[in-house]
Structure 1
Amino acid sequence: MKQPREILGPYELLRRIDAGGMAEVFHARLRTPSGFSREVALKRLFPHVADDRELLSLFQLESQVLASVNHPGVPQVFDFGSQDGTWFIAMEYVEGLTAAELWRAGASKGDPMPMPVSVAIALQVCEALHHVHERFAQGRHLAIVHRDVTPQNILVNGDGVTKLIDFGVAQWADTALPPRVRGTFAYMAPEQARGEPVDRRADIFAIGVMLYELTTGLRLFGGGSQVDTLNAVAE
């Protein structure tokens, strides 16, 4: 017998797409009493994470950052809130593969991604990041930094359109959280790996690492333990 799908408020969870340390992402469908329906990507915070004030603040900040951005290279946010103590963000659903999946498909055959494709992906990410980095609100520069630009956080649809996703560790000018080394070690700028303050240059560094990997099929940092990777980046 087919199991009924899980419901979260007005959202029907169709399938789980991905999960990380803080949250899981579902392909979901919004249903309203009027009959309106829309497919969304729904990011749901794990219950144990919601008990951590700092991590909950990061999740709330992610929704604020997404809501402040209006660019085709960044998914739109539709909803943010909690249902019976479960926090969620509903955003634009993008059908496609991550740049990491495309990279692995080529690397497994010893065939790096064609240069024009790699550059096209990187250029679109640069355009999205430039928009994010230049965001102002009420005459004030928001100074948003993504801090986790990786192939895993870049979606490419069937038409080659690229979306930068997962602003879960982003910061901006109003961030009042204690400094932490957050992000993916192999794509961090050295100052980020050392736990120092970062600005947009950390995101630009990450794009350079990503472009190297996509075009060569090789990892720039990594191959050892996480600690080895972090030390290699920091040095």
Structure 2
Amino acid sequence: MDTPLFEINDKHELKIARKIASGGMGTVYEAIQMGASGFKKRMAIKTLMDDAAEDQEFVEMFISEAKLVADLIHENITQVYQLGKFKNSFYIAMEYINGVNLQDFQERHTAIQENPPEDISAFMISRVCRALEYAHNKRDADGNLLGIVHRDVSPKNIMMSFEGVVKLTDFGIAKAVHHMDKEGDVLYGKVPYMSPEQASFKVTDARSDIFSLGICFYELLSGEILFGNQETIITMQKIMREDVPPIRERCPNISEKLERIIHKALNRDLEKRYQTAGEMGTDLEHFLYDDGYGPTNLTLEKYLKNMFPERVPQYK
């Protein structure tokens, strides 16, 4: 049975349906917003864990996340609805995604000993490119570039709904130009998906997110970990110093176009890497559509429902 989480007023409240995930500084729940005349809306609620709620730095990051992404309205970015406060802690109400994340997607393919199709993979990554392009180029009401960098592009933060829509989520450690005071002193992000400059404690820009997305793409197509799967100094050193193994060694039949795209995204030289996510997205779209009709949201929807039949009925 649903249990109340937050009472907004006498007639409006959020009710917990289930816990989705926990980690880092928060816990995410599926919840139902109750409104007047039987109104109901499913959403996700992100709350601070008890320990984090006592840490002023975590609280400030949590609030900054909500404020930073409040006006990020894009098909491929999870929408934030509200920053609220209950008792002594904050919560973020956001769009609920009926689907799986990229890690689930990879693990299912590993379990059946198959690599995902190139076109489906390229389509998903191209949608993340468009999400990043939008975020990177976002301006405030006065026309000033916000300078948003996600800094945590990783498989768990790339969602695919069962309607075939790709969503970049969790801007919890994203930075903007006016929130750069601690960068270079504190390491943020998941180590296995960091860019060389991020792992080196250097100031990051949009090109850092492109490198992280390149790692996701490499692992998606190859089915193998690129630099490591541990949050250790060894993984960081590999990211900073080791050459990226040619993906063709792991995927002998990979398209030459995709091969070039992946290695350009993973170039350690910032000037030789893709300069914008939009540029990478355009190259992927040329790969997908230049020769005819390529994948769409509907294509991905059908593929996901076929891959995860046991998860689909609850969303009918």
Q: TM-score range by the shorter chain?
A: over 0.9
RMSD of Structure 2 on Structure 1 (CA): 1.5
Q: Does structure 2 conserve the Cα–Cα contact (< 8 Å) formed by 1:151 and 1:210?
A: yes
Q: Compared with structure 1, are the counterparts of its residues 48 and 225 closer, same or farther at alpha carbon in structure 2 (3 Å cutoff)?
A: closer
- Structure-to-structure mapping, 1:44-59, within 5 angstroms: 44-59=47-62
CA distance in 2, matches of 1:174, 1:230: 27
**Higher mean Cα deviation, 221-230 or 171-180?**
221-230
Provide Cα deviations, 1:153-185, integer angstroms capped at 9, x if missing partner.
Answer: 011112321000111110001105423111111
Q: Does structure 1 conserve the Cα–Cα contact (< 8 Å) formed by 2:192 and 2:229?
A: no
Give the number of aligned pairs: 233
- The letter for the 1-side match of 2:169 is I
CA distance in 2, matches of 1:90, 1:215: 34
Partner of 1:165: 169
State the shift of 1:114 in Å: 1.1
Unmatched runs of 5 consecutive residues or more in structure 1: none
**Higher mean Cα deviation, 104-113 or 134-143?**
104-113
Unmatched runs of 5 consecutive residues or more in structure 2: 8-12, 242-316
Q: Which runs of 4+ in 1 moved over 4 A?
A: none
Partner of 2:6: 8
State the shift of 1:86 in Å: 2.0
Asked if 1:211 corresponds to 2:229, the answer is no
Q: Does structure 2 conserve the Cα–Cα contact (< 8 Å) formed by 1:80 and 1:89?
A: yes
Asked if 1:127 corresponds to 2:125, the answer is no
User: Per the alignment, in what secondary structure is the counterpart of residue 14 of structure 1?
Assistant: strand
- Structure-to-structure mapping, 1:115-194, within 5 angstroms: 115-137=118-140, 138-179=142-183, 180-194=186-200
% identical equivalent positions? 33
Partner of 1:21: 24
State the shift of 1:69 in Å: 0.7
State the shift of 1:196 in Å: 1.0
CA distance in 1, matches of 2:63, 2:180: 13
Q: Does structure 2 conserve the Cα–Cα contact (< 8 Å) formed by 1:110 and 1:217?
A: no
Q: Compared with structure 1, are the counterparts of its residues 47 and 111 closer, same or farther at alpha carbon in structure 2 (3 Å cutoff)?
A: same
- The letter for the 2-side match of 1:99 is L
The structure with the larger Rg is: 2
TM, length-normalised to structure 1: 0.94
Provide Cα deviations, 1:2-61, integer angstroms capped at 9, x if missing partner.
Answer: 6x6242232111101111120010000111355322110100011221222221111111
User: Per the alignment, in what secondary structure is the counterpart of residue 38 of structure 2?
Assistant: coil
Q: Does structure 2 conserve the Cα–Cα contact (< 8 Å) formed by 1:133 and 1:145?
A: yes
State the shift of 1:78 in Å: 1.2
- The letter for the 2-side match of 1:126 is C
